[in-house]
Amino acid sequence: MTDISLTVNGIEHEVDVDPTTPLADLLHDELGYKGTKQSCSTGICGACTVRIDGQARKSCLHMAGQVAGAEVQTVEGLETDGELSPIQAAFIDEFSFQCGFCTPGVLMSTAALLDENPDPDEDEIVDALHGNICRCTGYIAIVDGVKEAARRLQDE
Amino acid sequence: MLEEAEYHRADSLADAFDVLSEHPDAVVVAGGQSLGLLVKEGIVSPEVVVDIGHIDALRGIERDGDVLRIGALTTHRTVETSSLVAETVPVLAEAASQIADVQIRNAGTMGGVCAYADPTADYPPVLMTVGATVHAASPDAEVEYAAADGFFAGYYESALADDELVTGVSLPVLGEGVGAGFEKLAYRRNDRALVNAAAVVEVDGDACTAARVAIGGVGDTPVMATEAAAGLVDADLTDADLAAAAERAREEVPVFPDPLVSDEYRVAMVETLTRRALTTARDRATADR
Amino acid sequence: MSESPASGPGGTGVGRSVTREDGRVKVTGRAEFTFDVELPNMLHAAFVRSPYAHARILDIDTSAAEAIPGVHAVLTQADFPGTKFGDGVFDQTCLADDRVLFEGHFVAVVAAETKRQAAAAVQAVDVEYEPLTPVVDGEAAFSKDPPAVVHPDLHSYETAAVLPPTFVEDRPNVYQHYTVRHGDVEAGFEAADRVYEDTFRTAPIQHAPMEPHMAVAKPEGDGELTIWTSCQALHKIRHTTARILGKPAAKVRVIEPFVGGGFGGKESPLLEPIAGRLADVTGRPVRVVHSREEEFKNATISGEVRTTVKTGVTEDGDIVARKVEALLPGGGYSSTGFMVARNCTFGIGNSYSIPNLHVDTYAVYTNTPVTGSYRGFGNRQVLFALESQLDEIARDLDLDPIQLRRQNLLAEGEVTAFNEERTHVASGAILDELEANLPEPVAPEGPWTSGVGVALVNKYSLAPTASSAIVKVHPDSTIELRYSSDEIGQGSTTAMSQIVAEEFGVEPETVEIVRGDTAVTPFDQGSISSRSTFNMGNAVKMACADAKSELFEHAAETLEIPPEDLETSGGRVYPKGDPDAGIAIEEVFTKAIYESGYFLRRGGEIIGKDTWNVEAGDPEPGKIGRVNSFYSEGAAAVALSVNTETGEIRLDRLVGVFDVGKAINPKLVREQIIGAFSMGLAGALYEEMVYDQRSGRTVNANYSDYKIPTAHEHPFDIEPIFLELGHPEGPYGAKGIGEVPTVALIPAIANAVRDATGHRFSELPITPEDVVLAR
């Protein structure tokens, strides 16, 4: 076991884990960030998407050792003091989810996108979401949610 | 399998080489996007992992006169969005943008692609046709490989020696009269390519002075379609010339069997993608006339 | 009982696009799925899987695995009760019995303290196999002398008491032969002006829910178990799991957290009995999950269907006779596949009036993954065939494809080939609406050509069936609904909240939902067959009525007004039409001493309960009876473009018209249509499970090679139109919508490709390769 320090949602963690542990397992099983799901565990579906140093990344394809010292954001880090972020509120109002299993990953890809590109067009949104598979929605409501989130963030 | 792996984070190349000399079977990880999958599927069970993903010397893109230098740790996302790449070798950015998805492009690296030598990868045909050089280092030496000259040596096998690590790639800046194109075919956007094709043509006045075509995805390695390209030199590069070249490519490039897609279709697509890539290359090369 | 689609007294719930009740927990990552259930001292399971599609198990040596530190149990089928189970034929065991029947079949399961230890233990189990010839191809399996007989003891198995399957004496792999006989097809073909005969094939596909199958079982002491599971038929899972484990049902409690997608694949027990047994043996909670590869091979899939359809028509386009034969290669167990072979026939005779109709379907065992229910339940596959052929008939007769369909429609009150009288037929109105909203083909450009295609379909909702609900009125006037419908993403909790809100005149957000716990919530058949809105909606409405009647009984005493003159809204009870008179619900209760709260003077609690059930079956010949609960009808039109160089197919515009009776939540209905379309386009153009024909192995059991379409492959120009024609028996006139868009879109896409390319593709998926090779 190796001591690894990483920051998650602004909170510093020190864990003693096998450094080849997938980050997704570390977050969900060890550190209790249950929002981060795994669906294919092979880096295709994007359900495990988190942000590492601001970038959208697939946490199932990162080893714990790789993120030592990094700042990770999970879906739990979107809200502030129990208040939903504009992205989350937009997703509720636009019905941008159904079963909800892909939703945390989609939210993190969205947060990363809107940080980099506050006013994306539809093509840019679809590009950003290419690595997030949703089996339920057909994506239209998700894209509507991202557009609404962009609007709300710009209004802030 | 029960033992957990030893993990070393190298902070310099020398540091990485030290670990590798002690553990010759160590697995080297940069972005981890391909390795992660192999580990999960049990294909690779590393006992020792050397993480070179934090070595500053391997980062950066810079223009050095007529040469664009890309550090081994440069991510696909960086290549995709870099204004420097857009100015000098835009076809590389086009290829980068068609790799997988944003999450994977944020982590996957140029060095990783070179070392992994996935026959469906999107950079290699581009590197081969623009005449790129792969730079590597071993504990004692620095080495160079011409991308087009057998660097992608076999099925998931690069020409790197066991003790060599990719340090970067250098590419000639595409100047006036040079045009490059890249085409990729997959059933889903940005999937691993069923077929990909890269083409570069150089023109001087009306005539073509050089042409290179590389096809990936259909064999153990990407291959140069030398007959296709040879027939273009001194030609006018009309649509008919390009179509004929594409047909030659179709004839000369061997298509290996695939359990999911027929040979017939992929052979046809070799021709179609070659023609398209050549068309783009020609149009760009002749754009200023 | 006729019900016009009007709001109840409250007007607060039904018909509004209320935001989802589960929204906040899902966007914050707090929604708990079985994936998230974690218990102290929980063990992790892993499976030993067969590399062979068919083999005898000679020996399983678990000693080395058991010796690994941290390993608490290594079980084989010998460690399970011998009870066989299934949905129609009880042919299934928890792990492979004496033979493995498909590649990936579970041979042993281990439970260990860490995932790594469990994986190591799996490697250490030594299985000795005697490989047997597998039967992979459906035709080969169907023959009288197949290369392998998958279940030699088939005739000794127990079968279901309700709608049992029919075997075929001289075809040893057939586990279901269903027939429909109506009129005289041969005479019909004689009388027809033209006869068409065509064969179609759909590829096997998988539900690929985002959350794979998983279960966590906890031993409670005294032989009791609590099982958390990702399923879509809570009570069925509980009942069958208890039976398999040899426990009284009351000793098995099944809790269903949020489910990460079902799509028909989670309605039979699979991992629950295994988790339960491991929990019993180890005395510890055990988590059992499918890896994605295991999800492809060990969960049910939607099987291939080969359909041969022969249709006779007059020169004017009236269908006079139709004969359909379908072969359904079914995998190693019958599971719900036996029912698919029956129910896939309903689609054939529930849109059009066909005077002479013969159908024969055969489900056969093969040494491939088990097939069962999937969105569309066989109708997806068969109606692809029928609506494709109808399109060809229209072309051949030079008739407008919509008109051809229109002139053959069933009429209201008509008795179908299934001896059922169809009340409430919506297809005419649907076709009219579709015709008025047909998409235009995109102008051709470069290598792209374009075309338009349409299709009309129906999807039955099963019967016999039942749903029960319990509604409790709290002293603080909160209305609580206890029910078991599985929330698999469709928004059931929201829709049911709206019904309760409507009945009690309160805001939907105030309704308290207690869901998915067999200890508390009463029977439901499951979130399957598009049934929940109709069946559970009715049960909820009835339970509300029962609760209100009790509420009014109590309030009547306080108000001294007869209960039948009372009504409720906004947390008050008052004389009808006079809300300012009356009392708060709280005043129906009595305050207890010591600030203990409130109690009811007599009767315990105000609890309403009721059951909605639909009785049905296969009517006796000559008699008319009820076969299904209701029919979802719908039509789709597709405009698409095809790249003639590469074969790529680009969906330009999709239009769907569906009758939902009444939209409880219009936005949810719209989202269901779009989501169902997503699976339709996936099945039409992308997805296909590929088996090696020699070995039976699945070649592409991963997300790289099994092509689930991403956002890029989805069209964003979709117009979902829903009609609210009011089903006479639905709650507020509502009925289901979850499957019919999937069924409608597939043939519409095939017909549009035909229009664009001039080529009829009779196999799914239609890939770019198919298009190019057909040039």
How would DSSP label each residue in C574-639?
EETT-TTSSEEGGGGSEEPGGG--EE-SSSSSEEEEEEEEE----PPTT------SEEEEEEEEEE
Place of tokens 């091979």: C297
Peptide bond into C765 cis (omega under 30): yes
Closest by CA position to C306, among listed C366, C356, C352: C366
Percent of chain C scored above 90 by pLDDT?
96
Determine whether the interchain pair A101/C261 forms a contact, defined as Cβ–Cβ distance below 8 Å: yes
Distance CA A103, CA A35 (A): 9
CB neighbours of residue B92 within 10 Å: 30
Q: Which residues of C touch A129 (CB under 8 A)?
A: 711
pLDDT, residue C6, reads 36
DSSP-based three-state secondary structure for C360:
strand
Q: Quick one: DSSP state of residue C89? A: B
Distance CA C625, CA C621 (A): 10
Place of tokens 């700042």: A71
Distance CA C85, CA C92 (A): 5
- Find residues 324-343 of chain C whose CB sits inside 8 Å of chain B: none
Percent of chain B scored above 90 by pLDDT?
90
Chain segment B214-267, per-residue pLDDT in tens:
999 999 999 999 999 999 999 999 999 999 999 999 999 999 999 999 999 999
Nearest chain A Cα to C35, which residue?
Answer: A37
pLDDT, residue C775, reads 84
Q: Model pTM?
A: 0.97
Closest by CA position to B116, among listed B147, B142, B144, B154: B154
Say whether C305-463+619-773 and C34-134+213-289 share the same fold: no
Q: Quick one: DSSP state of residue C415? A: B
Q: Of B203-212, C324-333, C428-437, which range is least confident?
A: B203-212
Q: Which chains touch A (3 or more CB pairs under 8 A)?
A: B, C
CB neighbours of residue C397 within 10 Å: 16
**pLDDT level of residue C3 (50, 70, 90 thresholds):** very low
The CA dihedral of C491, C213, C361, C735, to the nearest 10 degrees, is -10
Chain Cα centroid distance, residue C86:
17
Give mean pLDDT, residues C347-372.
97
Q: Quick one: DSSP state of residue B150? A: I
DSSP-based three-state secondary structure for C520:
coil
Asked if A61 is an interface residue toward chain B (Cβ–Cβ < 8 A), one would say: yes
CB burial of C120-132 (b: ≥16 within 10 Å; e: otherwise) equals bbbebbebebeeb
pLDDT, residue C622, reads 83
Asked if A109 is an interface residue toward chain B (Cβ–Cβ < 8 A), one would say: yes
Distance CA C650, CA C647 (A): 10
pLDDT, residue B40, reads 75
pLDDT, residue C7, reads 40
Closest by CA position to C245, among listed C44, C49, C57, C93: C93
Chain segment B101-145, per-residue pLDDT in tens:
999 999 999 999 999 999 999 999 999 999 999 999 999 999 999
Phi, psi for residue B102 in degrees, rounded to 5: -55, -45
Q: Which residues of A touch B4 (CB under 8 A)?
A: 1, 18-20
pLDDT, residue C618, reads 81
**pLDDT level of residue B1 (50, 70, 90 thresholds):** low
User: What dotted CATH number matches A86-155?
Assistant: 1.10.150.120
Q: What is the mean pLDDT of chain C?
A: 96
User: What dotted CATH number matches C23-31+465-614?
Assistant: 3.30.365.10
Chain segment C578-619, per-residue pLDDT in tens:
988 999 999 999 999 999 999 999 999 999 999 999 999 888
- Give me the DSSP letters along C426-455: -HHHHHHHHHHTPPPPPPPBTTEEEEEEEE
Q: Which residues of B touch A65 (CB under 8 A)?
A: 7, 9, 49, 51
Chain Cα centroid distance, residue A155:
23
Asked if C261 and C267 touch (Cβ cutoff 8 Å), the reply is no
**pLDDT level of residue C562 (50, 70, 90 thresholds):** very high
Determine whether the interchain pair A40/C29 forms a contact, defined as Cβ–Cβ distance below 8 Å: no
CATH architecture of C34-134+213-289: Alpha-Beta Complex (3.90)
Distance CA C639, CA C214 (A): 40
Q: How near does any CA of chain A get to the CA of C38, in Å?
A: 8
Indicate whether A56 pLDDT > 70.
Answer: yes
Q: Which residues of C touch B190 (CB under 8 A)?
A: 712
Pick the CATH number of A2-77 from 3.30.70.360, 2.40.30.10, 3.20.20.140, 3.10.20.30: 3.10.20.30
**pLDDT level of residue B36 (50, 70, 90 thresholds):** confident
Place of tokens 């880096």: A43
Give mean pLDDT, residues C404-415.
97
Distance CA C150, CA C365 (A): 6
Question: Tokens at residue C235, please?
Answer: 């009570």
Nearest chain C Cα to A34, which residue?
Answer: C36
Determine whether the interchain pair B37/A68 forms a contact, defined as Cβ–Cβ distance below 8 Å: no
Chain Cα centroid distance, residue A2:
26
Residue ranges per domain, chain C? Answer: 23-31+465-614, 34-134+213-289, 305-463+619-773
Q: Which amino acid is at C296?
A: F
Chain segment C670-686, per-residue pLDDT in tens:
999 999 999 999 999 99
pLDDT, residue B11, reads 94
pLDDT, residue B45, reads 81
Q: Quick one: DSSP state of residue C156? A: G
Determine whether the interchain pair A75/C491 forms a contact, defined as Cβ–Cβ distance below 8 Å: no
**pLDDT level of residue C11 (50, 70, 90 thresholds):** low
pLDDT, residue A51, reads 98
Indicate whether C5 pLDDT > 90.
Answer: no
Chain segment C636-672, per-residue pLDDT in tens:
999 999 999 999 999 999 999 999 999 999 999 999 9
Where does residue C560 fall: left (phi above 0), alpha (psi -120 to 50 degrees), or beta otherwise? left
CB burial of B14-44 (b: ≥16 within 10 Å; e: otherwise) equals eebbebbeebeebbbbbbbbbbbbebbeeee
- Find residues 189-228 of chain B whose CB sits inside 8 Å of chain A: 189-190
Q: Which amino acid is at B48?
A: V
Q: Which residues of B touch A109 (CB under 8 A)?
A: 102-103
Asked if C710 is an interface residue toward chain B (Cβ–Cβ < 8 A), one would say: yes
B9, B39, B53: residue with CB nearest A20: B39
Q: Quick one: DSSP state of residue C532? A: I
Distance CA C132, CA C53 (A): 8
CA distances from B192 to B105, B121, C678 (A): 13, 7, 22
Give Cβ neighbours of residue B150 (< 8 Å, ≥ 6 apart): B159
Determine whether the interchain pair B4/A20 forms a contact, defined as Cβ–Cβ distance below 8 Å: yes
Chain Cα centroid distance, residue A83:
17
**pLDDT level of residue A153 (50, 70, 90 thresholds):** very high
Asked if A108 and A75 touch (Cβ cutoff 8 Å), the reply is yes
Q: Which residues of B touch A57 (CB under 8 A)?
A: 103, 106-107
ipTM topping 0.95: yes
Asked if A98 is an interface residue toward chain C (Cβ–Cβ < 8 A), one would say: yes
pLDDT, residue C51, reads 98
- Give me the DSSP letters along C293-337: HHHHHHS-BBPPEEEEEEEEE-TT--EEEEEEEEEEE--SS-TTH
**pLDDT level of residue B289 (50, 70, 90 thresholds):** low
pLDDT, residue C2, reads 30
Chain segment B89-107, per-residue pLDDT in tens:
999 999 999 999 999 999 9
A55, A68, A132: residue with CB nearest B106: A55
B5, B103, B189: residue with CB nearest A58: B103
Task: Please list the residues that pair with C126 across neighbouring strands.
Answer: C61
Chain segment C608-632, per-residue pLDDT in tens:
999 999 999 888 888 999 999 999 9
Nearest chain A Cα to C675, which residue?
Answer: A137
Percent of chain C scored above 70 by pLDDT?
99
Closest by CA position to B148, among listed B140, B159, B138: B159
Q: How far separated are the first and last CA of chain C, in Å rounded? A: 56
Peptide bond into C464 cis (omega under 30): yes
Indicate whether A131 pLDDT > 80.
Answer: yes
Determine whether the interchain pair B104/A56 forms a contact, defined as Cβ–Cβ distance below 8 Å: no
Chain segment C243-292, per-residue pLDDT in tens:
999 999 999 999 999 999 999 999 999 999 999 999 999 999 999 999 99
Question: Tokens at residue C357, please?
Answer: 């109709």
Three-class HEC string of C229-247: ECCCCHHHHHHHHHHHHCC
Angle at C91 between CA C88 and CA C96, to 5 degrees: 145
B29, B33, B103: residue with CB nearest A49: B103
Pick the CATH number of C305-463+619-773 from 3.90.950.10, 3.40.50.720, 3.30.365.10, 3.30.465.10: 3.30.365.10
Give helix A86-93 / helix A140-155 axis angle, nearest 10°: 140
Give mean pLDDT, residues B179-195.
97
Give helix C234-245 / helix C272-282 axis angle, nearest 10°: 50
Give mean pLDDT, residues C385-400.
98
Residue ranges per domain, chain A? Answer: 2-77, 86-155
Q: Quick one: DSSP state of residue B5? A: P
Please count the residue pairs, one from chain A and one from chain B, whose beta carbons lie less than 8 angstroms apart: 82
